[in-house]
Structure 1
Amino acid sequence: MEIRLDNKVALVTGASSGIGLAIAQALAACGAKVCINYRADAAEAARAVDAITSAGGSAFAVQADVSDQAQVSAMFAQLESRWVKADILVNCAGTDGKAALSWEADAAEWKKVIEVNLFGAFYCAQQALLGMTKKKSGVIVNITSVHETIAWTGYSAYTSSKAALSMLTKTLAQEAAPFGVRVLAVAPGAIQTDINKAVWSNPASLHDLQHKIPLARMGQTREIADMVAVLVSDTGSYITGTTVFIDGGMTDYPDFAQGG
């Protein structure tokens, strides 16, 4: 079975590196035109565009801080002026913030995580749905995390934002379904990227992490990207309002394999 997204226009936020870049490349490889959103590193975004175009795909980059509603509106305007309204939106931009116990956390930093991870996804979804509901087609994928269900000491803002994003996904899916639009979430587990290099490059911390995963390995960005491509295609046409966990079984709580 071949996944094709020909003539589709996709916007992927946080797409200049890591999981977002892998998703952008996968969608482009399936034939979609891809708008790569980035927040700060223009050179990194340019390399991402080059990687797609050199492989025969179509892409361009747009700078926007998704936590700023005005910048999100401007980003969608740029996309529509260059191509057309988005058929696919992947909300991948996110941050985990600084580690701190809740009662010691800086309120401004805590708020910023919520603004990026939750408000940012909402702002982008709102803009996308304005077009998708009118043409009665489209797919939105919100990238959450296993931490939408698993607590993580020191990261209360991150876990709260991802849990909230899960419920936002369900609500948007319920609202958009009568208009032929699907909204779902993908929850990665421990995925090997540059951001968490300090973990997987250290044998002790890597072993500890692998112990938390039934498949006993970290995931690769392509494993997230390939599933997103499937879900936004016609192959996933009956999937909406749910979270697909891609976590090697992490949410299966492997410590309980030997009893409670």
Structure 2
Amino acid sequence: MNVRLDGKRAVVTGGNSGIGEAISVCLAEAGALVAINYVAHPEAAHALVQRIQEQGGIAMAIQADVSDPEAIAKMFESIQAAWGGVDILVNNAGIDGGRALAWETDIAAWRKVIEVNLTGAFCCAREALRRMVPQNSGVILTISSVHEEIAWSGYSAYTASKAAVSMLTKTLAQEAAPHGVRVLAVAPGAIKTPINRAVWSDAGSLQDLLDKIPLKRIGAPEEVARMVVVLASDIASYVTGRTIFVDGGMTDYPDFAHGG
């Protein structure tokens, strides 16, 4: 079975690093045109565009803060002008914020996580749907987290935003289905990226993490990216309104393998 996205116009928010970078590359390898959104580190975004182009793909870099609805609207207008529309949106941009117990939390910092992870995902989806609904086709995928199900002390804004993304996905899927648009979420578990280097580069922290994963290894960004490509393709044409977990079994609560 050959998974292809030839000619599909894709947008990946936060697409210049980590999981977003892997998604951008895999989409391009499958034949999609990829707009790589970034808010910082333009050099990384432009280097990624060059890498994709050298491999025969089509890509462009576009700056926008997803927590700013006006910036999002301008980004989609630019993509519309360049490519005539959007077929795939990957809402990947997200932050976890600093660790703080609820009674110690700075409300501005809490709101920022919600603005990026939830409001930003909604505003990007809104702009995408304004283009997908009239064409009666399209796929929206939001990168969630195992923490839409698993509590994480000190990160109430992050967990709340990811749980909200789950219900947002279901609601948008319900609204968009009559118009031929599918809406899904992909929830990674522990994935080896630069942002969590402090965990996987320390032997003690790594072992603690591996104890939480039935497959006993950290995932690679490409493993998430490949799932995104499959779900964005016609292979998944009858799948919508669900979160797909890519977590090595973390949400299977491995501690319970040894008794309740």
Structure 1 length as normaliser, TM-score? 0.99
Give the SS at the match of 1:50: helix
Q: Distance in 1 between matches of 2:231 and 2:84?
A: 21
Structure 2 portions without partners, runs of 5+: none
- Alignment match, 1:92: 92
Displacement of 1:203 in angstroms is 0.6
Give the SS at the match of 1:36: strand
Give the SS at the match of 1:140: strand
Q: Deviations along 1:220-251, whole A, 9 cap, x unmatched? A: 00000001000000001011000000000000
Q: Distance in 2 between matches of 1:194 and 1:13?
A: 17
- Alignment match, 1:197: 197
Displacement of 1:160 in angstroms is 0.2
Displacement of 1:40 in angstroms is 1.4
Q: Distance in 1 between matches of 2:57 and 2:197?
A: 29
Displacement of 1:157 in angstroms is 0.3
Structure 2 length as normaliser, TM-score? 0.99
Q: Distance in 2 between matches of 1:53 and 1:167?
A: 37
- Alignment match, 1:251: 251
Q: Residue type of the partner of 2:134?
A: K
Moved over 3 A (4+): none
Q: Residue type of the partner of 2:15?
A: A
Is 1:162 aligned to residue 199 of structure 2?
no
Q: Residue type of the partner of 1:35?
A: A
Structure 1 portions without partners, runs of 5+: none
Matches within 5 A, 1:41-190: 41-190=41-190
Give the SS at the match of 1:159: helix
Displacement of 1:85 in angstroms is 1.0
Give the SS at the match of 1:256: helix
Displacement of 1:209 in angstroms is 0.1
Residue correspondences, number: 260
Displacement of 1:54 in angstroms is 1.2
Give the SS at the match of 2:186: strand
Displacement of 1:21 in angstroms is 0.7
Displacement of 1:179 in angstroms is 0.3
Q: Residue type of the partner of 1:194?
A: P
Q: Residue type of the partner of 2:181?
A: V
Q: Deviations along 1:41-64, whole A, 9 cap, x unmatched? A: 111111111121111110000000
